[in-house]
Amino acid sequence: MGGIKIRVDDVTVRYVDAAGHAHVPLDRVSLNIRAGEFLCLLGPSGCGKTTLLNLLAGFLRPTSGSVSIDGAEVTRPDPRHVTLFQEYGLYPWRTVLGNVLFGLQAQRVERAEGERRARAALDLVGLGDAARRFPHQLSGGMKQRVALARALVVEPDVLFMDEPFGALDTFTRGRLQDELRRIRRDRKPTIVFVTHDIDEAAYLGDRVAVMATHPGRIAALLDFPADTQFSRESARFQERRAKVYAAVREAFGEDEPTEDEIEPPVAESPLQELAAL
């Protein structure tokens, strides 16, 4: 692990809505993210995790406090830090290859060179054969792979991921989580990953920031040894899950988040049920 990559210093986001109510999606959050680490922001809806990600990615400015990456204050989006969204954000009129080429064309990379890199990125996410297809011909999992290839092809040193697998079925989600781990081992980007899925955070994160609501804040920061080898069946994963779940329980006390706010740690995932046997 390298030094500090992203510094979040006493950041508050406050706004007044049309009805005159004040909202504080983020209240005095400070956080240091290390170069090359995988940080999960875990919390129910309304805890400000997506707001925090938008601040890091430069889509939003804080009301007070500051965010800096590599020592430079973040004021706007930057192609060195690419965000992946739950809804993919693919361009329906472009082919898969055209979508992956988008970032390269925006940066005026020469055509032949761009195509070579785009095809390599598609191979990396296992979509080498789908280059000529259109997004509407793809499943959700394939669309997110295209978005991942489009991000990776510009060789970003930070990936921001906003519930990227949230719309996918459990099996697809599990496969993509494994691929993300593999890509991470190869490319070593810094990853900030927003999720409301405790299993996902425990499986992927070197660190897990558990966020709480009203106002949005980081309630606990769990530090695990960096490890991308353990499986979902391993005792090590069970241990991580238990720790994350305990932190979530502590953050919300008896006033536990309701069903729609946070996904329960067990159930839902067949992979989990297999692991529990």
Residues forming contacts to another protein in the complex (CB under 8 A) are 57, 59, 76-79, 81-83, 85, 87, 89, 91-94, 102-103, 105-107, 134-136, 154
- For residues 35 and 188, is the Cβ–Cβ distance under 8 A? no
Smallest separation, CB 191 to another protein (Å): 15
Smallest separation, CB 122 to another protein (Å): 17
- For residues 203 and 33, is the Cβ–Cβ distance under 8 A? no
Smallest separation, CB 92 to another protein (Å): 4
**What residue has token string 């993919």?**
88
Q: Considering beta carbons, is residue 147 or 208 the nearer one to another protein?
A: 147
Beta strands in the chain (DSSP E): 4-16, 22-34, 38-42, 64-69, 72-73, 81-85, 158-162, 190-195, 207-212, 217-223
Q: Considering beta carbons, is residue 89 or 270 the nearer one to another protein?
A: 89
Phi, psi dihedral angles at 17 (to 5 degrees): -80, 180
Q: Considering beta carbons, is residue 43 or 156 the nearer one to another protein?
A: 156
Smallest separation, CB 51 to another protein (Å): 14
Q: Considering beta carbons, is residue 4 or 106 the nearer one to another protein?
A: 106
64: β partners: 12
The alpha-carbon radius of gyration of the chain (Å, integer) is 19
Local structure of 156: helix, strand or coil: coil
d(CA 157, CA 134): 28
Q: Considering beta carbons, is residue 107 or 231 the nearer one to another protein?
A: 107
Q: Residue 268 gets which letter from DSSP? A: S
Smallest separation, CB 88 to another protein (Å): 8
